[in-house]
């Protein structure tokens, strides 16, 4: 029953939710040998990027695997902000050196997403575009279970360890898209806060804003029951906010409220410069633990509910970067870190979406700034105000102007956002080109 | 690093958590054909008990499977309160009629637990006692993945659809034990509140008290970090309360507070008499939905954290039943429904455990009775008072006296509790024979 001619569309009554098993805590990364031995595997490929490899973490994982009689090879060629080309290169490498019984991803979202794609193609055959979301690709369903993938995040940000999708740039079409199917979900998420102790403050701040946006966007996503009923064949991974994603997002916001500023300001010694950082220092284990938990929890939420305007805007903001080179990151090429790109329009986006779900916006503001959000008397301003206060405190650039865009660039950014219809349709309030243009214009400066 | 001679045992820093993917909502049970078609299966065994079979639900599932080209057979021979003998009979039936590509369990905890055991033995070979927990069995690790099991609860109670364990009576030893391994976790939990609309009020009340105890016992379980560090090989399914199980349990309690009394008093027409009920009536969909969600959420919690004294006491209270025949249940043999057996000593058990985790007991009382728990001035009395008030309101018997036990029976009950050391060790306060005896004596009458 997808509709009823007399009464109009029947509303949705069903939501879906899934998450990988989780091993969480200090030292968890040193148990992966045992965990993979339970799957009876013999040969494992560890995927990582050069910055994380330089910290020695993937090598430590490989040595732990060896202790359980598992042969492990480290491939440190993962490209940060992966593309169809970089996925293909990783797949080619894995095919040439394979076969593999399992995979371990050690790194940020780039490493984990690349490993998901490698696992998919080596387990199920075919070409990347067979599986990429429509209309870019053919959105084929993986025909069989994938090999076990253990995801080990080294930043508190993307939550990619919790989700069943991966994101990539399709270079020839200048578009960001993804592959999304429950079979991509890692067999195990191993989340060890000790891996993040030396992240420089700028990386902690940017990655943390990705968490904030995941939690806020899925908490304010269109309620699952406010859509027309889908046939089982039509169900999608992102079903809108629902009672389970709410649980995770609310807790992620509470953890952010308690520890984000502290993780930035006293998290490490801040001496690092690379992706993943190279600083030493004892840092603040409790704050790092909260941030890592917040990232994983927000992933458990948005990985099922979805994200909307701020992430949709983040794609062109990152993709059309001019000369911006953020401190704390490698200086060899211009970039807008993902967490900055998705947060720069968030205050204005939530000002826009407020009227469609006021209670949720107010509750989110209260969770992110307990006891102080209500100092702002205009309800629609509470969440934007909480966000701009946070972003100022942790050194996020002041709007898209802070990363090099002016009002005259807005018309060029809008089409990149409008391509993300899958995301925009998750917004609780209908949003078109004009609204996106206004949100971008009002985000040139956030304070 | 499991200990350090100079500083004593190192405390645990790691917790684990896992749950099946979830499809939740009215009508979800009518999508199982599609869901199993995704696994490429051809022949499926649907396991259920005679009471649920009489309602026609398993047959409806089988017909839905047929629509996707899947051959399905219904076996309605599951024994309520399963034993090694009933598990063996189900395994024998399944082996004789097999092979099967997947299993569907439709029913209460008995059907779901039986299906877990059948799936284990048909997927991995061997005998039941190979896998049963030590010291009763050999606690062998399942050597390979099990076939897909879809778990479809028809009562809001056990939460067995969420967990990776099954419980059985070992008849020859007169002991209750289980099989516990992450590979037993269902491939999908399909939770459809419409399946519970006609449960009679007595069944709603008893099963609901199982939810309350799951949530309370895992919320007050020993905190995971308050144990000595385990090597990865030594980790167990039940790791104590932790940040993830807390999320689920807190929400389960809030749902209980909102809807338990209503589900009992206006949930259906109360005309049923069988296990699963046979009453008609439109009932209260919202209250039924909340209760079904509470059961699943509490399962997501206790299935990882564990339960303690109330459940340990429930085993002998149910196992040594004399002449008690509860209304709303089949009258052909005496029985103490599981949800009654685990709740009758709960008020006194939480009076006992209060001092080990006072904040958690107070918070639980507040969640279960928002705004009224604090009317009781003695803090240790708040949770017991909330529970006895609830149990009176929904018609739960007044203590173990209400199901036929007197003070003179207590010495006979104690050994049955003391056999449950795995559960008792989850209590936040050390508990021995004397304490159990006192808790049982003080539970002969609860009000």
pLDDT score for A1 = 39
Q: Are residues B204 and B290 in the same domain?
A: yes
How far, in Å, are A21, B18, B19 from residue A187 at the CA level?
Answer: 7, 10, 12
Q: What ipTM goes with this model?
A: 0.94
B289 pLDDT more than 70:
yes
Higher pLDDT, A25 or A279: A25
Residue B300 near residue B167 (C-beta atoms within 8 A): no
- Rounded to 5 degrees, what angle do the CA atoms A411, A412, A416 make? 110
A234, closest residue in chain B (CA to CA): B34
Token couple for A191? 């989340």
pLDDT of B124: 97
- Residues A187 and A212 both lie in one domain: no
d(CA A295, CA A206): 12
Q: Work out the pLDDT band at A372, boundaries 50, 70, 90.
A: confident
pLDDT one-digit tens code per residue, A136-157: 999 999 999 999 999 999 999 9
| pLDDT greater than 70 at residue B8 | no
How close is the nearest chain A Cα to the Cα of B21, in Å? 4
A-chain CB neighbours of B16 within 8 Å are 21-24
B65 in any annotated domain: yes
Q: What is the pLDDT of residues A239-295, one digit of tens each?
A: 999 999 999 999 999 999 999 999 999 866 443 333 333 333 456 999 999 999 999
* Whether A167 and A265 share a structural domain: no
Mean pLDDT of A82-94: 97
Distance from CA of A19 to the nearest CA of B (A): 7
B27 and A38 within 8 Å at the Cβ level: the answer is no
Is B48:B77 a contact under the CB 8 Å cutoff?
A: no
Token output for B114: 């039986």
CB contact under 8 A, A141 and B38: yes
Q: Do A15 and B25 touch (CB under 8 A)?
A: yes
The closest CB to that of B25, out of A14, A28, A143, belongs to: A14
Peptide bond into A10 cis (omega under 30): no
Provide the β-strand partners of residue B167. Answer: B178
Tokens 């490429």, located at residue: B40
**DSSP code of A40?**
T
CA A111, chain centre distance (Å):
12
How high does pLDDT run on average in chain A? 93
**Nearest-CA neighbor of A189 among B238, B142, B19?**
B19
Per-residue model confidence (pLDDT) at position A377: 86
Residues B166 and B263 in one domain: no
Interface contact A22-B16, CB threshold 8 A: yes
Q: Nearest CA of chain A to the CA of B26: how many Å?
A: 6
Does the residue A2 lie in any domain?
no
> How confident is the model at residue A81, as a pLDDT?
87
Structural contact between residues A299 and A160, judged by C-beta atoms closer than 8 angstroms: yes
Residues A271 and A126 occupy one common structural domain:
no
Same domain for B210 and B280, yes or no, is: yes
Per residue in B368-380, pLDDT tens? 999 987 788 899 9
Partner-chain residue, chosen from A13, A232, A251, that has the shortest CB–CB distance to B35: A232
Q: Is the pLDDT of residue B434 over 90?
A: yes
For residue A181, what is the domain's CATH number?
A: 3.40.50.1970
A18 → closest Cβ in B21, B40, B145: B21
Q: How far apart are CA B260 and CA B298, in angstroms?
A: 14
CA distance A189 to chain B (A): 10
Q: What's the mean pLDDT when you consider all of chain B?
A: 93
Are B285 and B164 found together in one domain?
Answer: no
What would the pLDDT profile of B220-230 be if each residue is shown by its tens digit? 999 999 999 99
Q: How far apart are CA B281 and CA A303, in angstroms?
A: 38
Max CA pair span of chain A: 67
B253: left (phi over 0), alpha (psi -120 to 50) or beta: alpha
Radius of gyration (C-alpha) of chain A in whole angstroms: 21
Phi, psi for A147 (deg, rounded to 5): -70, 160
A175/A234 same-domain check: no
Q: Among residues A191, A221, A245, which one ends one of the domains?
A: A191
d(CA B42, CA A3): 30
Domain boundary among A146, A166, A191: A191
Task: State the pLDDT confidence band at A201, using cuts at 50, 70 and 90.
Answer: very high
* Assigned domain for B1 exists: no
Query: Above 70 in pLDDT, residue A368?
Result: yes
The answer to whether residues B298 and B316 belong to one domain is yes
Does residue A366 surpass a pLDDT of 90? yes
The whole-number pLDDT of residue A9 equals 67
Using CB atoms, pick whichever of A28, A143, A251 lies closest to residue B14.
Answer: A28
The total number of structural domains in chain A stands at 2
**Residue A172 within any structural domain of the chain:** yes
Q: Which residues contact A368 (CB under 8 A, 6 or more apart)?
A: A212, A253, A256, A257, A383, A386, A387, A390
Q: Which residue of B has its CA nearest to A232?
A: B31
What are the pLDDT digits (tens) for B296-352? 999 999 999 999 999 999 999 999 999 999 998 989 899 999 999 999 999 999 999
Percent of residues, chain B, with pLDDT higher than 90: 89
* DSSP label of A164: S
Tell me: do B181 and B205 sit in the same domain.
Answer: no
Distance CA B156, CA B193 (A): 8
- Rounded distance, CA B327 to CA B200, Å? 10
Q: Which residues of A fall within a CB distance of 8 Å from B144?
A: 40
Asked whether residue B256 is domain-assigned, the answer is yes
Q: Tokens 């979900």 — which residue?
A: A185
| Domain hosting residue A203, numbered range | 198-441
Tell me, yes or no, whether B17 lies in a domain: no
Partner residue facing B19 (CB), from A19, A23, A38: A19
What are the chain A neighbours of B40 within 8 Å (beta carbons)? 143-144
CATH number for the domain that contains residue A307: 1.20.1090.10
pLDDT tens string B263-285:
999 866 443 333 333 333 456 99
Optimal mutation site among B2, B10, B22, B142, interface A, most CBs of chain A within 10 A: B22
What residues form DSSP beta bridges with B24? A15, B191
Q: Compute the count of residue pairs across chains A and B with CB atoms less than 8 Å apart.
A: 81
Contact flag A251-B251 (C-beta cutoff 8 Å): no
Report the C-alpha gap between A136 and A107 in whole angstroms: 27
Contact call for residues B211 and B162 (beta carbons, < 8 A): no
Radius of gyration of chain B (CA): 21
Do residues B317 and B346 make contact, with C-beta atoms less than 8 angstroms apart? no
CB B206 within 8 A of CB B340: yes
pLDDT digits (tens, 9 = 90+) for B379-432: 999 999 999 999 999 999 999 999 999 999 999 999 999 999 999 999 999 999
* DSSP 8-state class, residue A173: G
> Rounded distance, CA A23 to CA A430, Å?
39
- A159 shares its domain with A296: no
* Cα atoms in the Cβ-side hemisphere of radius 13 Å centred on A48: 28
E strand or H helix that includes residue B23: strand B22-25
Residues A190 and A162: their CA atoms lie apart, in Å, by: 10
Region of A350 on the Ramachandran plot (φ > 0 left; ψ -120 to 50 alpha; else beta): alpha
Burial profile B144-167: b = 16 or more Cβ within 10 angstroms, e = fewer: eebbbbbbbbbbbbbbbbbbbbbb
Residue A248's closest chain B neighbor by CA?
A: B247
Contact B256, B370 (CB under 8 A): no
Question: Do the domain assignments include residue B253?
Answer: yes
Q: Choose one of A142, A168, A191: the last residue of a domain.
A: A191
DSSP B95-152: HHH---SEEEEEESHHHHHHHHHHHHHHHH-S-HHHHSPTTTS--PPPSSPPPPEEEE
Contacts of A369-374 spanning 24+ positions with Cβ under 8 A: A369/A257, A370/A257
pLDDT of residue B123: 98
- Model confidence at A4, pLDDT cuts 50, 70, 90, reads very low
Where residue B20 falls among pLDDT bands split at 50, 70, 90? very high
Same domain, A232 and A283: yes
Does a structural domain hold residue B425? yes
* Greater pLDDT, A167 or B280: A167
Q: Would you state the pLDDT for residue A274? A: 34
8 A C-beta contact, residue B128 and residue B117: yes
């Amino acid at each position: 029953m997808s509709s009823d001619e007399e009464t109009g569309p029947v509303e949705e009554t069903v939501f879906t939710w899934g998450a990988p098993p989780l091993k969480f805590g200090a030292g968890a990364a040193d148990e992966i040998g045992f965990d993979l031995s339970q799957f009876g595997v013999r040969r494992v490929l560890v995927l990582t990027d050069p910055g994380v490899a330089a910290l020695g973490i993937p090598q430590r994982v490989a040595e732990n695997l060896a202790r359980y009689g598992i042969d492990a090879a480290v491939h440190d060629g993962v490209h940060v902000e992966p593309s169809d080309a970089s996925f293909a290169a990783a797949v080619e490498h894995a095919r040439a050196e394979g076969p593999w019984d399992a995979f371990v991803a050690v790194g940020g979202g780039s490493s984990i997403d690349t490993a998901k794609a490698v696992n998919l193609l080596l387990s199920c055959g075919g070409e990347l575009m067979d599986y990429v979301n429509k209309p870019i690709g053919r959105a084929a369903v993986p025909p069989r279970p994938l090999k076990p993938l253990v995801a080990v995040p080294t930043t508190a940000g993307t939550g990619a360890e919790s989700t069943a999708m991966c994101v990539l740039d399709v270079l020839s079409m200048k578009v960001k898209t993804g592959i999304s199917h429950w079979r991509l979900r890692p067999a195990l998420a191993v989340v060890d806060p000790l891996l993040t102790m030396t992240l420089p403050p700028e990386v902690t701040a940017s990655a943390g804003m990705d968490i904030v946006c995941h939690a806020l966007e899925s908490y304010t996503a269109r309620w699952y029951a406010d859509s027309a009923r889908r046939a089982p064949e039509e169900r999608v991974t992102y079903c809108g906010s629902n009672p389970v994603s709410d649980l995770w997002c609310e807790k992620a916001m509470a953890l952010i409220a308690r520890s984000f500023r502290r993780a930035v300001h006293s998290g490490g010694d801040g001496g690092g410069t690379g992706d993943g950082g190279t600083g030493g220092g004892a840092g603040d284990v409790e704050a790092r633990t909260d941030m890592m938990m917040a990232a994983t929890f927000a992933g458990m939420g948005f990985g099922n509910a979805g994200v909307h305007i701020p992430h949709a805007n983040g794609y062109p903001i990152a993709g059309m970067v001019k000369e911006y080179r953020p401190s704390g990151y490698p200086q060899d090429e211009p970039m807008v870190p993902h967490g900055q790109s998705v947060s720069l329009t968030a205050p204005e986006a939530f000002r826009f979406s407020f009227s469609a779900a006021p209670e949720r916006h107010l509750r989110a503001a209260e969770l992110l700034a307990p006891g102080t959000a209500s100092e702002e008397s205009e309800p629609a301003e509470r969440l934007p105000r909480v966000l701009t206060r946070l972003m100022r405190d942790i050194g996020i650039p002041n709007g898209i102007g802070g990363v090099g865009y002016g009002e005259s660039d807005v018309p060029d950014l809008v089409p990149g956002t409008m391509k993300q219809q899958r995301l925009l349709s998750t917004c609780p309030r209908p949003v078109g080109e004009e609204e996106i243009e206004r949100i971008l214009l009002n985000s040139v400066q956030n304070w």
